[in-house]
Each structure stands twice: as C-alpha cells, then as structure tokens.
C-alpha cells in the first residue's frame, strides 16, 4: 500500500474490512523528532539539551528492552511486535480511541473503503472493543446476504472460540481470498441470541455512489463512503437524476462511516448553496469555518437525509449542516457520534501508520456531537423484523415526507 494520506484530513471511524523505520538495536535515540517526522542531529545548545532530555526520558524504555531480551523466558522475542506494542501503548495512553497505531495490514485494509475493491465478506467492523464487532454490512455483500446487523459480535471463527483474542487477530482469521468459506458464530446483544453463519468470501467492488429513481419521480442517492472518487461520482449521478425533473431527493447516509474532510465539503456543497457548513476546532480553541462551494446541482429541490447508528463522522458533518441550515429533514435514528478529525500518517518503510486526532468539528450552530450523535428530525427505527420482511420504514417515511411537500 503506497497510498499516503498525510496532510489530508480524514473523518472516518477506524474500521477494517473483511474482508519505526528500521529496527531498534539497543542504545539511546540520538537527536529529536522534528514536526515533519525526520530526525535532526543539530549541534546547537537547544538541540543538545532536548536530546539529553529525551535520553533521560527514554532510559526506562531501553532498560526494559534489555530486561526483555535478557530475561524473558521465551526467546527469541519478536522485536517488530515489541516496537508496535510500544507505539500502540504510547498512543493509547492519550485516552482517545480515534488516535492509535495501525499495523501495515490494518492500514491497507482501513484505506480500502476510500479507494477501491477488496476480497472478503463485505462488512465494516470495529476493532477497538473487546470483540470484533460489525458496524455495518455493505449493500449486496455476502455479509448482508447472511443477515448480519450493526452490533453483531464475532465469538467463534471456524469453530474456535475467539472471545479472548484481540479483535485485530480475529480479523485476520475472518478475512481471506474470494471463493473461500468462513464459518462464524455471532452474538447479537440486542436480542441476546447466538447464531452461526457460513459465508463465502467474494471480491467486493466499492462504488461510493448508488443512484436511482424511486416511485417514478423521487431521486435517490446512497453514499457508501466519502472517498477519492465520491465527488465526481456524485456530480454524475445528480446530473442524470436532475435531468428527470424529480419532485424530491433522498440522500441516504445510513451505514456510511465517513472519509475525507474535503470530500464531505464537496458533497454538502451539492445541496447547500452558500454559508458556513462546519467549524474545525483546534486544540487552542480556535475555530476555522468551512464554507459551501458554489455550483451545487441540487440546492433547491426538497431534500430528506436518511441516517442511522452506522452514520458517522463525514456523514454526520453532512447531515448536521443540512439540519442546522434547515435545508432538509433528517429521518432515521441517532447517529454514531464521532466529532473529531484525524490525520493518518504512514510510517517510513511500510511499518504501518498512526492516526492522530488533530481537531474537533462543530456543526454550523456549534453543536459538538462526539459520543452523542445527531438526533433525527423524524425518528423512525428499523427493526430486525423489518429487515426480515424486506421493509424499509425509514425510506418509506422519506418518500412520504417528500410527497407531502409537493
């Protein structure tokens, strides 16, 4: 994976999909880290003092490193895992679940929703908890066909109990090449039931925009992510739909976990003609406004936005702007609640990447939705019974609202 997202802000729940440069050899770190991620050996007084401070700070680390290599019972130890664990521990100590370390495999898989296709069962998952948890199945995927729902927790893989394993390790067991089967046992907290499914992995193509006309004259757009191609895909879809003179438009953001911040602004600008659409709040309290861009293709048509518990980050920015600016009606259930912005920085020599929270975002009315989510204007749940009956009450309500606006 050569993709470098450094410098491009990402607003995405860290999900995986089914799916330090060099090694430490002992001794003390020489020099100090500059903001651009390089090491300096400048000999001026300040550099010498800072280097000396780091030598003192890192002394317990290297002392422990020596104890592990000299005294740990099972030798040899894996230096790569030790370094990865050290980086993870450092970032975990910040107490921010959206700041963390990604192994090379995790980073490659986490960027797939933003870029293209992959092989697996077709589900977004959360690896930050005790169990590997489904955030959302992808439309038309094997995971969706198997009936998986948001919140389902993996407890067995191919008959093996995985409840004591790290979710990232479980993920590696679940993913695999197209055409192969994986037997999974899930626990569904909402109903307290346990169930088994065998899923055949497939190659999953990932268009970020799916569009069609509903009921003959209602335009419908489903955004799966805010990725590299979303802006152009959305413009093309709107051109096709708007040429058919629809009476209203439904923007479906359900189970959309986010993506690039600049793409979120592009998407919002297709529906909102002008004004501030969000604020980025820096650590010092400074607020940077983001404005709608001119030239939107659907700035006046009656609009309903569908949201649910899988709508996160960039989806919440989009829905929050539409709600605060009274541009449309939000229908569904409360969203995920991620109100921060990350920079994903690949480490040198393909040694993984780090996610660093660099800011928080606010809606145009200065609402902070972190851990709370957006509340819909019209609350409509989507139950397991609805799914089994192939009924979509949220979509039906959206069509009803647009019909009433005629």
> For the domain that residue 164 is a member of, what is the CATH number?
2.30.42.10
Residue percentage of the chain with pLDDT more than 70: 86
* Residue 338 appears among annotated catalytic residues: yes
With a cut of 90, say whether residue 172 has pLDDT above it: no
pLDDT (average), residues 292-299:
98
pTM recorded for the entire structure:
0.69
With a cut of 50, say whether residue 285 has pLDDT above it: yes
* Residue 217 appears among annotated catalytic residues: no
The answer to whether residues 214 and 200 belong to one domain is no
Give the torsion sign (CA, 335, 337, 339, 342).
negative
Q: Does 6 reside within a domain?
A: no
pLDDT (average), residues 339-346:
90
For residue 32, what pLDDT is reported?
29
The answer to whether residues 129 and 224 belong to one domain is no
Burial bucket for residue 188 (CB in 10 Å: 0-12, 13-18, 19+):
middle
pLDDT (average), residues 319-339:
97
Q: Angle formed by the axes of helices 261-269 and 314-324, to 10°?
A: 30
Give the tokens for residue 60. 């317990």
pLDDT digits (tens, 9 = 90+) for 376-392: 999 999 998 998 888 99
Which one from 324, 340, 351, 397 is the annotated catalytic residue? 324
Which one from 51, 313, 315, 340 is the annotated catalytic residue? 313
For residue 42, what pLDDT is reported?
44
Higher pLDDT, 213 or 51: 213
For residue 274, what pLDDT is reported?
97
For residue 21, what pLDDT is reported?
24
Q: Does 5 reside within a domain?
A: no
Q: Does 112 reside within a domain?
A: no
* Residue 324 appears among annotated catalytic residues: yes
For residue 17, what pLDDT is reported?
41
The answer to whether residues 381 and 297 belong to one domain is yes
Per the omega criterion (within 30 degrees of 0), is the bond before 76 cis? Answer: yes
The answer to whether residues 190 and 217 belong to one domain is no
pLDDT (average), residues 126-137:
88
The answer to whether residues 302 and 361 belong to one domain is yes
Q: What is the dihedral of CA 337, 342, 344, 345, to 10 degrees?
A: -150
252-266 b/e with 16+ CB inside 10 Å = b?
bbbbbbbbbbbbbbb
Q: Comparing 168-177, 306-315, 357-366, which segment has the lowest mean pLDDT?
A: 168-177
Residue 156: strand, helix, or coil: strand
For residue 174, what pLDDT is reported?
92
Residues paired with residue 219 on neighbouring β-strands, in sequence order = 213, 249
284-318 b/e with 16+ CB inside 10 Å = b?
eeeeeebebeeebebbebbbbbbbbbbbbbbbbbb
For residue 351, what pLDDT is reported?
87
Higher pLDDT, 70 or 23: 70
The model's confidence at residue 107, banded by pLDDT at 50, 70 and 90, is confident
The model's confidence at residue 114, banded by pLDDT at 50, 70 and 90, is low
Q: Comparing 35-44, 93-102, 152-161, 185-194, which segment has the lowest mean pLDDT?
A: 35-44
With a cut of 90, say whether residue 138 has pLDDT above it: no
Q: Comparing 103-117, 120-134, 321-335, which segment has the lowest mean pLDDT?
A: 103-117
With a cut of 90, say whether residue 111 has pLDDT above it: no
Give the torsion sign (CA, 26, 30, 33, 38).
negative
Residue percentage of the chain with pLDDT more than 90: 66
The answer to whether residues 375 and 230 belong to one domain is yes
With a cut of 50, say whether residue 4 has pLDDT above it: no
The answer to whether residues 380 and 278 belong to one domain is yes
For residue 402, what pLDDT is reported?
97
The model's confidence at residue 129, banded by pLDDT at 50, 70 and 90, is confident
For residue 337, what pLDDT is reported?
93
How many domains does one find in the chain?
3
Give the contacts of 382 (CB within 8 A, at least 6 positions apart). Answer: 308, 332, 333, 392, 393, 394
For residue 112, what pLDDT is reported?
66
405 with 378: CB under 8 angstroms?
no
DSSP letter for each residue of 213-269: EETTTEEEEEE--B-TTHHHHHHHHHHHHHTT--SEEEEE-TT--EEEHHHHHHHHH
For residue 43, what pLDDT is reported?
44
The model's confidence at residue 49, banded by pLDDT at 50, 70 and 90, is low
With a cut of 90, say whether residue 140 has pLDDT above it: no
Q: Does 53 reside within a domain?
A: yes
Q: Does 397 reside within a domain?
A: yes
Give the contacts of 135 (CB within 8 A, at least 6 positions apart). Answer: 13, 15, 123, 124, 125, 126, 150, 255, 257, 310
The answer to whether residues 307 and 355 belong to one domain is yes
The answer to whether residues 229 and 199 belong to one domain is no
C-alpha 265/C-alpha 144 separation (Å) is: 29
Which one from 175, 338, 351, 397 is the annotated catalytic residue? 338
With a cut of 70, say whether residue 35 has pLDDT above it: no
The answer to whether residues 192 and 218 belong to one domain is no
For residue 206, what pLDDT is reported?
73
Number of H helices, E strands in the chain: 11, 24
Higher pLDDT, 128 or 258: 258
For residue 136, what pLDDT is reported?
84
Question: Which domain does 38 fall in, by range?
Answer: 20-97
Q: Angle formed by the axes of helices 261-269 and 230-242, to 10°?
A: 10
Higher pLDDT, 279 or 138: 279
Average pLDDT taken over every residue of the chain? 87
């Amino acid at each position: 994976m050569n993709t470098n997202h450094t410098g491009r802000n990402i607003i995405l729940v860290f999900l995986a999909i089914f799916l330090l440069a060099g090694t430490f050899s002992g001794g003390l770190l020489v020099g100090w880290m500059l903001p651009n991620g390089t090491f300096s050996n400048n000999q001026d007084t300040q550099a010498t003092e800072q280097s000396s401070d780091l030598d003192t700070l890192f002394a317990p680390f290297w002392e422990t490193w020596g104890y592990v290599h000299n005294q740990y019972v099972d030798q040899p130890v894996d230096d790569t895992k030790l370094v990865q664990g050290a980086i993870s521990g450092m970032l975990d100590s910040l107490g921010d679940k959206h700041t963390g370390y990604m192994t090379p495999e995790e980073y490659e898989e986490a960027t797939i929703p933003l870029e293209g296709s992959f092989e697996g069962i077709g589900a977004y998952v959360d690896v930050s908890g005790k169990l590997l948890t489904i955030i959302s199945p992808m439309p038309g995927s094997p995971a969706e066909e198997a009936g998986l729902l948001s919140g389902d927790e993996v407890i067995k893989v191919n008959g093996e109990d995985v409840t004591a394993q790290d979710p990232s390790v479980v993920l590696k067991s679940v993913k695999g090449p197209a055409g192969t089967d994986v037997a999974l046992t899930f626990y569904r907290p909402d109903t307290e039931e346990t169930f088994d499914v065998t899923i055949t992995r497939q190659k999953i193509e990932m268009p970020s925009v799916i569009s069609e006309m509903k009921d003959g004259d209602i335009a419908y757009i489903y955004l799966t992510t805010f990725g590299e191609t979303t802006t152009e895909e959305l413009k093309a879809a709107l051109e096709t739909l708007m040429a058919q003179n629809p009476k209203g438009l439904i923007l479906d953001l359900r189970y959309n976990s986010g993506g690039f911040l600049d793409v979120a602004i592009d998407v919002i600008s297709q529906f909102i003609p002008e004004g501030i659409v969000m604020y980025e709040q820096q650590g010092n309290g400074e607020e940077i406004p983001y404005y709608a861009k001119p030239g939107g293709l659907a700035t006046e048509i009656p609009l309903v936005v569908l949201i649910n518990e899988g709508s996160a980050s960039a989806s919440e920015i989009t829905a929050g702007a539409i709600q605060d600016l009274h541009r449309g009606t939000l229908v569904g259930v409360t969203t995920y609640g991620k109100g921060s912005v990350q920079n994903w920085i690949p480490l040198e020599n393909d040694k993984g990447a780090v996610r660093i929270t660099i800011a928080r975002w606010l809606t145009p009315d200065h609402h902070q939705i972190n851990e709370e989510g957006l509340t819909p204007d019209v609350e409509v749940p989507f139950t397991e019974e609805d799914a089994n009956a192939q009924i979509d009450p949220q979509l039906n309500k959206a069509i009803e609202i647009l019909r009433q606006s005629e």
